[in-house]
Amino acid sequence: MKVVIIGANGQLGYDLMRIFRVNHETIGLTHQDIEVSDRDSCTILRDIKPDVIINTAAFHNVPACEENPEKAFLVNAIGAKNVADISLEINAITVYISTDYVFDGTKKEPYTESDPPNPLNAYAISKLAGEYFTKYNPKHYIVRVASLFGVVGSRAKGGTNFVETMIAKARRNEEIKVVNDVWMSPTYTYDAARAIRKIIEKCLPYGIYHVVNSGYCTWYEFAKEIFNQLGLSQQVIPVSSEEFPSKVRRPKFSALKSEKLEKYGIILRHWKEALNAYLAEKGYMKKEWRLSK
């Protein structure tokens, strides 16, 4: 297959590139090559004429989206429409990367693909609109991921992610306070990329897929586990989200369950194992760590 990855130098895009190029002709497009919100710029996709277009591009700084909902809609929704329209024209499969934030968090147990979305902020509303526009192309996969950590870090967060932020704070000897009343599914981009490749290679039915590592936790529990695996006795102070007031509404519980993938025999490992693999890949681990220990 000929596969195009939009946002190829992003956190997820980097791992998609290394996973797909193993056995597919894989072309990476960065923001310099394509502006998804500009229809003319998207004609590059017509010229390449791939079989699959994976769109990871997003304006996903959540507070910035709240300040600038027009831009959020341009990139996350109109951008998705531009990609879906051209995919339809050239008979390509569209893969749109979406988010756990499409849910409102009132369920209190992991959301499955059949749960109704109810986004709470401009970012999430624009991503849900992007999901709907993606459906303009019947040959689509909408892949909802969550709380990503990957070796290159998120470009939208200045090339970092939660794991790196925690390690950097510890190195600076800063007091570390982390919310213990917000639950999510930490997900390693390498594992998400492998699952996405399997969805496509196995020609699973088109539609929505939740692609997250199994298990879930609070951000505080995630931080504790990072230091535990690194063998550091770093103090982490659990706090309520009220300690970090924000104008942006966010779901307090956005853990996902990859129910459809499980049905097709694609099981993502537990987030603690994925974290271990990430820390090892980044060279932080002195010795291999196992869940059973």
Ligand X SMILES: NC(=O)c1ccc[n+]([C@@H]2O[C@H](COP(=O)([O-])OP(=O)(O)OC[C@H]3O[C@@H](n4cnc5c(N)ncnc54)[C@H](OP(=O)(O)O)[C@@H]3O)[C@@H](O)[C@H]2O)c1
The residues that touch ligand X, with contacts defined as CB under 6 A, are 6-7, 9-13, 30-31, 34-37, 56-60, 75, 79, 97, 99-100, 145-148, 154-156
Closest approach, Cβ 128 to ligand X, in A, equals 11
Closest approach, Cβ 195 to ligand X, in A, equals 14
The helix-helix angle for 189-201 and 271-281 (nearest 10°) equals: 110
> Which spans in 135-256 are helix H?
162-171, 189-201, 219-230
Of 123 and 220, nearer to ligand X (C-beta) is 123
Q: What are phi and psi for residue 206, nearest 5 degrees?
A: -65, 155
Closest approach, Cβ 245 to ligand X, in A, equals 21
Of 65 and 236, nearer to ligand X (C-beta) is 65
Q: CB nearest ligand X: which residue?
A: 10
Of 5 and 289, nearer to ligand X (C-beta) is 5
24 and 64 in contact (C-beta within 8 Å)? no
Of 38 and 231, nearer to ligand X (C-beta) is 38
Closest approach, Cβ 35 to ligand X, in A, equals 5
| One-letter amino acid of 225 | E
Of 98 and 276, nearer to ligand X (C-beta) is 98
- Is 266 exposed, middle or buried (CB count within 10 Å of its CB: 0-12, 13-18, 19+)? middle
14 and 150 in contact (C-beta within 8 Å)? yes
Residue with tokens 């989206």: 65
Of 137 and 254, nearer to ligand X (C-beta) is 254
Closest approach, Cβ 235 to ligand X, in A, equals 25
In sequence order, what are the residues at sequence separation of 6 or more whose Cβ sits closer than 8 angstroms to the Cβ of residue 72? 59, 65, 122, 123, 125, 126
Closest approach, Cβ 80 to ligand X, in A, equals 9
Q: Which of 268, 66, 281 is nearest to 186 (CA)?
A: 268
